Amino acid sequence: MKKLMMICALLFSVITYASAQQGGGRGGMMMKPEDRVKQLDEKLKLSEEQKTKLTTVFTEQADAMKKMREEAQGGDRDAMREKMQKFRTDSDVKVNAVLTEDQKKMYKTWQDEQRAEMQKRMQERGGNN
């Protein structure tokens, strides 16, 4: 009986740990729209109007991204990559339309930092394709 309890406890802890790791550390497009706005507000000091507009933009992005992923199941990876790149560019245009000139500069700097961090993490994992 003790062995069974130990196995159950171990199994429970492994499942809990694994589920806690899913979604952790994700940023950018994978975050909830509200979390993305909060993150940008910390960096750019957004007005209430900007927060509202960006929440709408990010919600639309999340819905469109979900639809693209569903459509891409088992499809052409290169075509999907190209479509996603265009989507990111269009998204940046929408975000920049809401920001002031100073905020646009800070946003660009922040994006560059995020990309550099992502590349560094990929290289550390050996994922430099």
Question: Are residues 58 and 36 in contact, defined by beta-carbon separation less than 8 angstroms?
Answer: yes
In this predicted structure, what is the pLDDT of residue 6? 63
In this predicted structure, what is the pLDDT of residue 22? 42
In this predicted structure, what is the pLDDT of residue 109? 93
The whole-number average pLDDT for the span 36-50 is 94
Residue 10 pLDDT level (bands cut at 50, 70, 90)? low
Q: How far apart are CA 103 and CA 46, in angstroms?
A: 9
Q: Is the pLDDT of residue 117 over 50?
A: yes
Q: Residue 47, Cα to own-chain centre: how many angstroms?
A: 22
pLDDT digits (tens, 9 = 90+) for 66-88: 888 887 777 777 888 888 888 88
Question: Are residues 54 and 46 in contact, defined by beta-carbon separation less than 8 angstroms?
Answer: yes
Which residue matches tokens 């069974």? 4
Instruction: Find the range with the poorest average confidence among 55-59, 78-82, 94-98, 105-109.
Output: 78-82
The whole-number average pLDDT for the span 85-93 is 88
